């Protein structure tokens, strides 16, 4: 739990305490250490539980609450006090800050404001070093051409990440017209990206999780809109907020991009930590990879995040060699995934992920290896690792599998 902010809350008002708790409980970066309904007991609760943050709701009795803030600042100086009030009276804010509060939020608390306050507190506590609370990892999966395997990879990567109980993972289908991530997971979702985008300012973390569809693998899915007419309702700004909210809720976000490289896709590329560019070993694909890399290089911060994933290695003898591909693209191949048409078509048609349907298959192992490499700290070491471990396994595929 060392990379999580531990929080204790005091609010004599049951309903506002419950709603604050609901918001906090859905956040991965927060561990709710203790709750208390009486101001007079809270200093002891904090002394005993030693949380990073003490959240004090001051509405029930301002004088008592401010006294408590001052007491906490003295008796538990390591605990950052965050004051919440339904009033934004400047005098009250001043009094709270003078008493020792580090942050002040007004009710109803907006998620963005809470995140901002928590971010500032964690920065002050941990600095910019490695001990910062674990952030969310955003992985955008895009492709060099239609049908290259983007969705297959995004869905199965999401399931592979969700296999680790420490992770909470969501997949967002950003192919707004024709996305089919829901088919791969055999789900009929109640809500889509449009619902979440339109309500993003009103959603708390619990509601957000309820709006997503949870697959038995543990992966949460936010699917594309149902109606074509609804696509226009999702603006790039909305998506930015949705991703921001989801980053605070999940340890990993996988974004399945469309092939149109629209403003929506660009938001995803900008917000991602890793961009997996999926290609196959044929001329049209590699030509597009070169073009895309040239465009990405013009976009601030995107070029460096791109990792080339070669899919369907061993598809046929006419394929361009990996060496030639590497030379043409001018960068290393991050990961190779073998061709296994039968398994891939089965998992899609049955709506069952690879780890469930074919856990031992080389394609599954390659995706698990890629998930592990992405979550490992040393990325350069990770690419090398596949070079060593993957090649011999892939070799069998060259000879045994065809289309
Ligand atoms: N490694 C693979 N081996 C064989 N077939 C694959 C592989 N990856 C994907 N496919 C197949 O390619 C087709 C297109 O995949 P899909 O993920 O829908 O691509 P995209 O999202 O890029 O359009 C599907 O029929 C899928 O089963
Ligand atoms: Mg797709």
Domains contained in the chain, CATH given: 5-126 (3.40.50.2300), 137-400 (3.40.50.300)
Q: Does residue 244 have a pLDDT over 90? A: no
Strands 220-222 and 213-214: antiparallel
Whether the CB of 344 sits within 6 Å of ligand 1: yes
Question: Cα(105)–Cα(103) distance, rounded to whole angstroms?
Answer: 7
**149 touches ligand 1 (CB under 6 Å):** yes
Distance, in Å, from the CA atom of 251 to the CA atom of 161, rounded to the nearest integer, reads 10
Please calculate the CA angle 263-294-300 and round it to the nearest 5 degrees: 55
Mutate to test the pocket of ligand 1, among 142, 152, 313 (most ligand atoms within 8 A of CB): 152
Quick one: average pLDDT of 324-347?
96
Our CA angle for 303, 306, 310, nearest 5°, is 140
In the numeric block, which tokens belong to residue 328?
Answer: 């043409």
Q: What is the mean pLDDT of residues 295-317?
A: 94
Select from 142, 143, 144, 147 the residue to mutate for testing ligand 1; criterion: most ligand atoms less than 8 Å from CB.
147
Residue-by-residue DSSP string for 222-253: EPPPSSGGGGGG--HHHHHHHHHHHHHH-SEE
Q: Is the pLDDT of residue 103 over 60?
A: yes
Q: What is the pLDDT of residue 395?
A: 35
Distance CA 367, CA 105 (A): 43
**Which pLDDT band holds residue 232 (cuts at 50, 70, 90)?**
very high
Distance CA 127, CA 120 (A): 10
Structure confidence at residue 398 (pLDDT): 34
Probe residue for ligand 1, chosen from 149, 223, 335 as the CB with the greatest number of ligand atoms within 8 Å = 149
- From the alpha carbon of 341, which atom of ligand 1 is closest? 4
393, 368 contact by CB (below 8 A): no
How does residue 30 score in pLDDT terms, banded at 50, 70 and 90? confident
pLDDT of residue 134: 57
The stretch 290-303 carries a mean pLDDT of 94
Average pLDDT of the chain to the nearest whole number:
88
Q: Give tens-digit pLDDT for 118-139.
A: 888 888 876 655 444 456 899 9
Residue with the larger pLDDT of the pair 148 and 110? 148
Ligand 1 atom having least distance to the Cα of 337: 1
Report the C-alpha gap between 166 and 80 in whole angstroms: 27
CA of 276 to the centre of ligand 2 (A): 14
Question: Could you report the per-residue pLDDT of 354-366, keeping only the tens digit for each?
Answer: 999 999 999 999 9
315 neighbors 281 (Cβ within 8 angstroms): yes
Rounded distance from Cα 282 to ligand 1 centre (Å): 15
Q: Rounded to whole angstroms, how far apart are CA atoms 215 and 221?
A: 7
């Amino acid at each position: 739990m060392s990379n999580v902010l531990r929080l204790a809350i005091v609010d004599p008002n049951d309903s506002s305490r419950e709603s604050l708790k609901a918001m906090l409980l859905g956040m991965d970066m927060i561990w709710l250490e203790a709750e208390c309904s009486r101001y007079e007991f809270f200093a002891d609760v904090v002394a005993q539980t030693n949380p990073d943050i003490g959240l004090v709701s001051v509405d029930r009795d301002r004088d008592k609450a401010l006294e408590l803030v001052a007491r906490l600042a003295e008796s538990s100086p390591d605990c950052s006090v965050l004051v919440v009030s339904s009033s934004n009276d400047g005098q009250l804010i001043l009094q709270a800050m003078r008493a020792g509060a580090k942050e002040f939020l007004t009710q109803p608390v907006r998620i963005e404001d809470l995140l901002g306050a928590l971010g500032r507190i964690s920065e002050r506590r941990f600095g910019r070093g490695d001990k910062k609370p674990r952030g969310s990892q955003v992985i955008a999966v895009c492709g060099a051409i239609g049908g290259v395997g983007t969705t297959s990879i995004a869905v199965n990567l999401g399931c592979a990440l969700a296999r680790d109980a420490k992770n909470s993972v969501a997949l967002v289908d950003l192919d707004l017209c024709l996305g089919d991530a829901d088919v791969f997971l055999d789900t009929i979702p109640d809500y889509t990206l449009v619902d979440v985008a339109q309500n993003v300012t009103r959603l708390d973390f619990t509601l957000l999780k309820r709006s997503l569809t949870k697959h038995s693998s543990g992966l949460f899915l936010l699917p594309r809109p149902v109606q074509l007419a609804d696509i226009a309702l999702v603006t790039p700004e909305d998506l930015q907020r949705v991703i921001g909210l989801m980053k605070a809720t999940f340890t990993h976000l996988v974004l399945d991009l469309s092939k149109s490289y629209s403003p929506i896709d660009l938001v995803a590329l900008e917000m991602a930590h890793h961009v997996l560019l999926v290609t196959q070993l044929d001329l049209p694909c590699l030509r597009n990879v070169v073009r895309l890399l040239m465009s990405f290089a013009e976009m601030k911060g995107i070029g460096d995040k791109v990792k080339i994933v070669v899919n369907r290695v061993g598809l046929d003898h006419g394929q361009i060699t990996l060496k030639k591909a590497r030379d043409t693209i001018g960068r290393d191949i991050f990961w190779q995934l073998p061709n296994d048409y039968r398994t891939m078509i089965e998992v899609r048609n049955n709506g069952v992920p690879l780890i469930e349907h074919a856990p031992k298959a080389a394609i599954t192992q390659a995706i698990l290896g890629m998930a592990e490499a992405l979550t490992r700290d040393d990325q350069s070491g990770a690419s090398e690792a596949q070079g060593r471990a993957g090649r011999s396994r892939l070799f069998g595929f060259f000879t045994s599998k065809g289309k």
